[in-house]
Chains A and B, each alone.
Chain A
Amino acid sequence: MQHAETTQGRPFLEARNIGKRYGGLHAVRDVNLSIYPGEVIGIVGDNGAGKSTFIKMLAGDHEPTSGELLIEGRPVRFSNPRDAKQAQIETIYQDLALCENLSVMDNIFLGHELTRNPVLRLLQRNKMHIESRVLLDDLGIGIPSTHELVVNLSGGQRQATALARVAKAGAKLIILDEPSAALGVRETRALLDLILRFRSQGKSILVISHEMRDVFEITDRIAIFKRGELIAIKRTKETTPDEIVSLIIRGRQ
């Protein structure tokens, strides 16, 4: 197994020999990966290569059957998504997990609403709208009104809302599952810019993607999965799309 663990400093998250077995089947086996603050890692691989199972273990959706996870050097156990959130890991799946019947502001603050009066827990709507506006402007997200219902938004606006939400939640590691799959060209561009802005804020980003062009544009390292194993990690600057495709398909250069 090849490793390119040359990034400096202490990793935010470290997976040690992590694995997931369903009965006799190894969905993921012995994955070692460190994710450092302010870096973007692309995860590539064929369907069924174990990418989804791997990120679901980081997101707390699946509990690993072997190995261990460390956050900033401390071992942790995620038995549900709430545990992962507490460790400041936020995941955006393809369905974006937005409540379409609610406003942009409601979705940004979902699960983190600002309230006053500990008994009645009254919503502080104005404050949340103002904070949402500031956040959207900071991230350069072009949504005209935080009052708008998500059902009325375009795909890119929804994606941006989901990203604004995880930023609001104070995520240190953001996991994105095929974020550009449903987006047009301009919307994809806006999304990539947003990801780079997150990186500049020191957040770590893990992106599953089939779009080689996107992967090469924004990632620092690329992790290649095959048959449940992490077969290679390459520095983006030191590799080529051909090499990556070859690894995905044949497992070697």
Chain B
Amino acid sequence: MTQSVTQPDRNAGGFNLFGFARSQEGVVVFLLVALMIVVAVFSAASPYFFDVRNGMNIGRAISIIGIASAFTTLLMIAGGLDLSIGAVMNAAGVVAAMVLTQTNLGVGGAIVAAVAVGALVGWVNGMFIAKLGINPLIMTIAMQFVVRGLTLGFSASASKVIVDPTFLAIGQSYFHIGPLAIPAPLLWMLLTMLVLWFVLRFTLFGKYVYAVGGKASACRRAGINVNVITIQLYMLSGIGAALAGVVLAAIQGAGIPYGAGSELSVISAVILGGVSLAGGIGLIEGTLVAVLLVGVLKNGMTLMGISSVFQMVAEGLVLVGAVTLDRLKRRL
């Protein structure tokens, strides 16, 4: 069999450093190293940084973006994109709050209703994108407007305060493990990531996520129902945003219809984590480390008293740096 000279073969030549640097696992290791450097720098620069409670604060601060980005990771690996998630988060929070205050369905009912809203929005997105071939960017921006408008309309632009202690516990309680007090939202994020990591790594659905992102036409030829997978992924994206919205409402103590949309933070974290915009490549581990890295950067700069104006610039530069490295390493 011929071996092309430019095509490295991992098994032929043992460990291949360049090959590893290009692989999706390599991205995660690179991000981990970057994270450790950033942690070391902040630990040296601020006496308040390297501290368990501060770590928990970071965990809670990243949890909402983390939950949504885990689901977005799956969608983007499959080559999709969902810009309606920020609007769905707000909608889910408002719906949960309205169910809690205006019905007696309780916390379970509130969460189910919120998740149903997310699933419905995702289904509409998925149907238009998969069946009619509408560009995901356009479709989900359109849905963002629709959902935002409906949310403001249904809520009469008024926030719905939540007093139910069980619901608030979703966002405000702690789990005590030894001396550690882990904020509940952080735990939800880690659980979400664990479940989706498992799905992506060990299940048939996970395999199809990569396959559809690699070459949808090949999947169709192989008899895989790509449309169904696509619709399921957009529904999952909506459900993920709704779950994030539920936790957000519990943290805020209110369903707020007009919060700033967080979809771009989510998508940039996923890309930073090594998911290719073209699809087919990425790992949940990468998203987790990327979300951590962004959270640590924000927290550390805040503790150091760096103006948030510069923090915004820094966030942008980190993303530019990541995608630049991604381009460069392909030339290795």
Contacts and interface: CB of A to CB of B under 8 A. Distances in A.
Interface in B174-232: 202-207, 210-211, 213-215, 217-224
A81 B11 CA distance: 35
Given A99-B210, A100-B215, A111 B1 contact: no
B3 interface: yes
A187 B220 CA distance: 27
Contact of A115 (B3, B9, B204, B280): B204
Nearest to B8: A152
Interface string A183-206: 010110010000000000000000
Contacts of B3: 154
B128 to A, nearest CB: 21
Contacts of B222: 97, 110-112, 165
A234 B258 CA distance: 74
B210 A110 contact: no
A147 B11 CA distance: 9
A98 B204 contact: no
A97 B1 CA distance: 21
A142 interface: yes
Nearest to A97: B218
B204 A111 contact: no
B10 interface: yes
Contacts of B223: 81-82, 85, 111
Contacts of B220: 81
Nearest to B198: A120
B7 interface: yes
Given A102-B210, A156-B2, A145 B7 contact: no
A158 to B, nearest CB: 11
Contacts of B224: 110-111
A187 B8 CA distance: 19
B221 A157 contact: no
Nearest to A187: B2
B4 interface: yes
Contacts of A144: 9, 11-12
Interface residues on A, range: 35 or more
A232 interface: no
A187 B211 CA distance: 26
A156 B211 CA distance: 21
Interface in A184-239: 184, 186-187, 190
Contact of B210 (A82, A97, A101, A148): A101
Contact of A142 (B1, B205, B281): B1
Counting contact residues on chain B (CB < 8 A from A), the size range is 20 to 34
A145 B16 CA distance: 15
Contacts of A156: 1-2
B200 to A, nearest CB: 11
Q: Name which of B2, B217, B224, B280 has the most chain A CB atoms within 10 A of its CB.
A: B2
Contacts of A53: none
B7 A152 contact: yes
Nearest to B23: A149
Interface string B1-38: 11110011111100000000000000000000000000
A223 to B, nearest CB: 24
Contacts of A97: 215, 217-218, 221-222
B7 A154 contact: yes
A123 interface: yes
Contacts of B281: 101
A99 B218 contact: yes
Interface string A75-95: 000000110010000010101
Contact of A154 (B4, B203, B210, B218): B4
Contact of B218 (A98, A115, A157): A98
11 contacts: A82-B223, A101-B213, A101-B280, A102-B207, A111-B219, A112-B222, A123-B203, A147-B10, A148-B11, A154-B2, A154-B7
Interface of A: 81-82, 85, 91, 93, 95-102, 106, 110-113, 115, 120-123, 141-145, 147-148, 152-154, 156-157, 165, 184, 186-187, 190
Interface of B: 1-4, 7-12, 202-207, 210-211, 213-215, 217-224, 280-281
